[in-house]
Structure 1
């Protein structure tokens, strides 16, 4: 599968280290193979060089000219409505959930762990039931329990066997 996220002018990235950790920045220029010039006019990041090792590239890209000034980057950023797109992205949602979990107290962590355990029990029971009721080739398997229930239902309705006994 070919790469989809390239280090290029206009690529939005998330800083992963240093004082900018967690902030979104736009790549304005590539200095060399290890450093880029970044700018984040709406995220409070001044224009500066930044190491590529400390950036996580996102799927978002905004269009502006090569080495554009901050005002042009700001205009392109606002026109693309990047803030709203980022809020609904799975990456952002996951980061928000991690932040919420880190603020839990001991009792809340216990309740969360207990709820997960209950959910996993239900999933395991459902999976094992389906596994038991399916043959290796994928066709449904008829269990003795099913036959007994069917016979009881026929007896209750007054089926063939109930009529034969009378």
Structure 2
């Protein structure tokens, strides 16, 4: 199976570092070998290093240096968010966000349920 996730204009990716961790964005411009310009619904247009993104299997058809409204429209028409949320990585990010939003009591309940699941059964 050949490699097909290239750094290219229109490639959808997720950010793997910083405030926008896990948010989807699209590569709008390739600056050089190590940096790209990205933009997305929750990510402002910015230049970031390639090592700070995870490339997905999805692409959208946009031109080089496309304006923000065209990028967002292309992502919505391709239903990128729904497709990404159906992937294994997307599901793990949703679970991770839910775990971060838990209250103390919810964490306690989860811990007690895990402890109860591992107890030996009485005959």
TM-score, normalised by the number of residues in structure 2: 0.81
Select the residue among 56, 78, 81 that pairs with 1:80. 78
1:105 is displaced (CA, Å) by: 1.8
Aligned to 1:105: 107
Unmatched segments (≥5 aa) in structure 2: none
Q: Which residue of 2 aligns with 1:2?
A: 2
The Cα RMSD (Å) is 2.0
> Within 5 Å, which residues of 2 pair with 1:33-52?
33-40=33-40, 42-43=41-42, 45-52=43-50
Task: Tell me which stretches of 4 or more aligned residues in structure 1 moved more than 6 Å.
Answer: none
Report Cα offsets for 1:78-135 as digits up to 9, x if no partner: 21111221222221111222333453423421312443x47xx9xxxxxxxxxxxxxx
Query: Number of residues paired by the alignment?
Result: 116
Tell me which protein shows more helix as a share of its residues: 1
**CA offsets 1:14-37 (integer angstroms, 9 cap, x no match):** 111122222111001111111001
Instruction: Find the aligned partners of 1:113 and 1:58 in 2 and give their Cα distance.
Output: 36
Within 5 Å, which residues of 2 pair with 1:147-158?
Answer: none
Q: Is contact 2:38–2:47 with CA below 8 Å preserved after alignment?
A: yes
The answer to whether the aligner puts 1:53 opposite 2:55 as a matched pair is no
TM-score where L is the length of structure 1: 0.62
The superposition leaves residues 117-154 of structure 1 with CA deviations (integer Å, 9 ceiling, x where unpaired) of: 47xx9xxxxxxxxxxxxxxxxxxxxxxxxxxxxxxxxx
CA gap of 1:113–1:93, structure 2 versus 1, over 3 A, is farther
